């Protein structure tokens, strides 16, 4: 895995969307349904994600975005539908098996080992992502030279090398969010699912996170849930808009920005009061 891209600290300009191709998608989800009792959270969603792209999923609160991520990553079982990843049917596979196939995820809520230092967080994430390492979590670090080298490469990419020995809980909120992306990277994934990675961030941290996410697509595939529309429009290759558990529209950022259906969906949610 190449880790020679750094997030940068300055502003980031919009990029040109990658041209469409007809190769088999890395992720191919068809007819995904998720019900909780009588409530249908996802109602027949199709989602195809090309390798090496940033694919954003947006929509008003309550649209089903996070539930879709839960289903695709194996956090919850689907009620119906099929999920193919890298040509493998992973529909009934648990989340730990999907991790070994190359799916990694960060969550809306910060989930770090606050009392451990930054480098140790990355080491544990790298070991825990694979079956052999999961039972060897506390072996002395010197016995895991390759993992430590990976952790150091990720630290450099995150711009956190100077904080390697600091407790994760002592980092700023923006630094913690970057570290969470790094912990997903430590699993050596093919696809990274990021659920609102800029949540709670100050304005000064946004450009760095935006550049980091865009840079990930040089080595990985990124699926992104994000409420900051400026970030979505700047870094995405494809945007899928959800409403009430269904796909409303999908396309390039420019097309989504100008779509009246998208504007109506967000305006309607503001009037009626959607729930997350």
Residue 165 CB neighbour total at 10 angstroms: 9
Please give the distance of CA 128 from its chain centroid, rounded to a whole number: 18
Residue 172 CB neighbour total at 10 angstroms: 13
- Provide the pLDDT for residue 274: 46
Q: What length is written for the chain?
A: 276
Please check whether residue 148 is in contact with residue 123, taking contact to mean a CB–CB distance below 8 angstroms: yes
Cα(160)–Cα(89) distance, integer angstroms = 37
Instruction: With a cut of 70, list the residues of the chain below it in pLDDT.
Output: 1-23, 108-110, 129-144, 268-276
What Rg, from alpha-carbon coordinates, does the chain have?
Answer: 18
- Summarised one tens digit per residue, pLDDT across range 120-162 is 999 998 887 654 444 455 555 555 688 889 999 999 999 999 9
Name the strand (E) or helix (H) holding 252: none
- Provide the pLDDT for residue 135: 45
The domains of the chain, with CATH numbers, are 23-102+235-276 (3.40.50.300)
Cα(130)–Cα(133) distance, integer angstroms = 5
- Provide the pLDDT for residue 146: 87
Indicate the pTM of the whole model.
0.84
- Provide the pLDDT for residue 145: 81
Please check whether residue 44 is in contact with residue 252, taking contact to mean a CB–CB distance below 8 angstroms: no
């Amino acid at each position: 895995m190449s880790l020679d891209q750094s997030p940068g600290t300055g502003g980031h300009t919009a990029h040109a969307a990658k041209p469409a191709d007809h190769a088999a998608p890395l992720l191919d989800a068809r007819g995904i349904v998720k019900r909780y009792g009588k409530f249908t959270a996802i109602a027949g969603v199709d989602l195809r994600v090309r390798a090496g792209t940033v694919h954003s999923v947006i929509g008003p609160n309550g649209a089903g975005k996070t539930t879709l991520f839960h289903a695709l990553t194996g956090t919850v079982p689907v009620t119906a539908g099929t999920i193919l990843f890298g040509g493998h049917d992973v529909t009934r596979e648990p989340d730990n098996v999907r991790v070994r196939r190359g799916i990694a995820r960060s969550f809306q809520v910060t989930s770090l080992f606050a009392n451990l230092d930054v480098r140790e967080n990355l080491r544990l994430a790298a070991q825990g992502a694979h079956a052999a390492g999961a039972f060897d979590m506390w072996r002395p670090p010197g016995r895991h030279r390759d993992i430590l080298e990976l952790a150091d490469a990720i630290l450099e990419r995150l711009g956190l090398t100077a904080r390697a020995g600091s407790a994760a809980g002592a980092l700023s909120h923006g630094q913690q969010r970057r570290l969470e992306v790094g912990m997903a990277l430590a699993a050596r994934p093919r696809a990274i699912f990021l659920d609102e990675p800029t949540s709670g961030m100050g304005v000064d941290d946004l450009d760095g996170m935006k550049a980091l996410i865009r840079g990930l697509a040089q080595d990985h595939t990124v699926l992104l849930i994000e409420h900051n529309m400026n970030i979505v429009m700047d870094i995405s290759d494809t945007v899928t808009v959800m409403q009430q558990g269904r796909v409303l529209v999908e396309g390039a950022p420019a097309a989504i920005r100008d779509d009246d259906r998208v504007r109506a969906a967000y305006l309607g949610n503001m009037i009626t009061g959607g729930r997350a």
